[in-house]
Amino acid sequence: MRILVTNDDGIDSPGIYALAQALQGVGEVTVVAPNQQQSAVGHALTVAVPLRVHPYERNGKPFGHAVTGTPADCVKLALDAILPERPDIVVSGINHGRNTAVSLIYSGTVSAATEGTLLGIPSIAISLDNFSLDADFTHAAEVAAWLVPILHQHHLPRGVLLNVNVPAIPRDQIKGVRIAEQGSGFWNDRYEVRHDPMGRPYYWLTGSYIPDGHSGSDDQLLTEGYVTITPIHYRLTDHTMLEELRTWGIEGKGGA
Ligand code: MN
């Protein structure tokens, strides 16, 4: 099995290293990842400047291909220009921090996996519920190594990917694996105003995450100590509103 590994935290992050190491035992791993931090870039593609690719080493050994682009760029470029053969699976992560609820639309980790499934390859995004610098990715990496062969056996429709979150608690405290819905938590964002040496204001996004408390949501189950797996897709039509909008009488009128 050929496995393409990518992420959004950058090719030098601890999460992608743990992931690539764990997947070595599962298949033939190729790492193609951003050369710098790309969290919260969503599904951005680089179109105004060229992409460069550089070989990247870790611990004195070849580790992968560092790309001067976004997570979605990495997957597209890997398939079109870097990999000699199509991968059987794309795994994105392990992200530093949970990817649940509204975070899925900002997440570069998830977008890399979305790009994989758009290109017809079964794909997983995996995140560890820990933002701290000393986070231990060992168990999350083992979860990925467990799940990849399972995904390889089953059919996922094109456009559907698996979003996985792993609690950052000792392994013997993890309660198990649960299939979960995307929650409705949100970020309580605000911009902190600071001043540069010239006295001009600048703004830095900060804030805190407000998870929902709904049983069955990714946020709630993750907080309770479960590994959560959520099937997601990128198709955005709201089918309930599709019908409601038809009752507004605006269809067929030719617009303004
Ligand atoms: Mn990230």
Sign of the C-alpha dihedral computed for residues 165, 168, 171 and 174 taken in this order: negative
Cα(37) to centroid of ligand 1, in Å? Answer: 7
Q: What is the pTM of this model?
A: 0.95
Cα(97) to centroid of ligand 1, in Å? Answer: 7
Cα(202) to centroid of ligand 1, in Å? Answer: 23
pLDDT of residue 201: 98
Cα(155) to centroid of ligand 1, in Å? Answer: 27
Specify the range with the lowest mean pLDDT, choosing from 5-19, 73-87, 208-222. 208-222
Cα(149) to centroid of ligand 1, in Å? Answer: 24
Closest CA to 146 of 23, 240, 255, 62: 23
Cα(157) to centroid of ligand 1, in Å? Answer: 26
Cα(114) to centroid of ligand 1, in Å? Answer: 15
What percentage of residues in the chain have a pLDDT greater than 90?
A: 94
pLDDT of residue 254: 79
Distance of CA 19 to the CA centre of its chain: 13
Cα(15) to centroid of ligand 1, in Å? Answer: 9
d(CA 211, CA 228): 15
Mean pLDDT of 70-92: 98
Q: For the chain, what is the mean pLDDT? A: 96
- Determine the straight-line distance between the first and last CA of the chain, rounded to whole angstroms: 55
d(CA 131, CA 158): 31
Cα(71) to centroid of ligand 1, in Å? Answer: 10
The CATH classification number of 2-185+213-248 equals 3.40.1210.10
Asked if pLDDT for residue 155 goes beyond 90, the answer is no
Cα(186) to centroid of ligand 1, in Å? Answer: 17
Cα(17) to centroid of ligand 1, in Å? Answer: 14
Domain residues of the chain, as ranges? 2-185+213-248
pLDDT of residue 255: 81
Cα(96) to centroid of ligand 1, in Å? Answer: 5
Cα(95) to centroid of ligand 1, in Å? Answer: 5
Asked if pLDDT for residue 213 goes beyond 90, the answer is no
d(CA 222, CA 51): 37
Asked if pLDDT for residue 217 goes beyond 80, the answer is yes
Asked if pLDDT for residue 225 goes beyond 90, the answer is yes
